[in-house]
């Protein structure tokens, strides 16, 4: 994952409610109605947050009749967490090493 991709993911989770949604979904699938009740927000507000998460493949949705269920896309979420962990701790690609060696930014 490059810095541009990481930046896009960070924008998608820059809202406290979106971070909390990810935390809740890490425990399992939830119905949109449960999320509406929990957050006490309007349906359009929740849809806005879920769209940002789904557009970045952090959350998936399934429909059962007229109910919408959301679950964490664990592959993307794990990749994001790994990249966050590696940023600044990975020796081979650490930018400070390149600066000290006189390597130009790509």
User: How many domains would you assign to the chain?
Assistant: 1
Domain range for 78 is 3-101
Q: Given this model, what pLDDT does residue 82 score? A: 86
Domain of residue 48, CATH code: 1.10.10.10
The residue ranking higher by pLDDT, 32 or 86, is: 32
Chain position carrying tokens 């690609």? 93
Q: Is pTM, for the whole model, over 0.75?
A: yes
Half-sphere exposure of 51 (CA within 13 A, CB side): 6
Does residue 84 lie within any of the structural domains?
yes
Q: Is residue 106 part of a domain?
A: no
18 CB-near residues (< 8 Å, 6+ apart): 12, 49, 52, 53
Tens-digit pLDDT profile for residues 38-81:
999 999 999 999 999 999 999 999 999 999 999 999 999 998 88
Looking at beta carbons, which pairs linking 98-106 to residues 24 or more positions away fall under 8 Å? none
């Amino acid at each position: 994952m490059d810095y541009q991709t990481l930046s896009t993911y960070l924008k998608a989770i820059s809202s406290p409610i979106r971070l909390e949604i990810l935390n809740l979904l890490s425990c399992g699938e939830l119905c949109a109605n449960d999320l509406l009740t929990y957050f006490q927000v309007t349906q359009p507000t929740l849809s806005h947050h879920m769209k940002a998460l789904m557009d970045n493949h952090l959350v998936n949705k399934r429909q059962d009749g007229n109910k919408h269920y959301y679950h964490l896309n664990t592959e993307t979420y794990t990749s994001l967490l790994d990249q966050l962990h590696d940023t600044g701790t990975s020796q081979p690609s650490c930018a400070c090493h390149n600066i000290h060696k006189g390597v130009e930014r790509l």
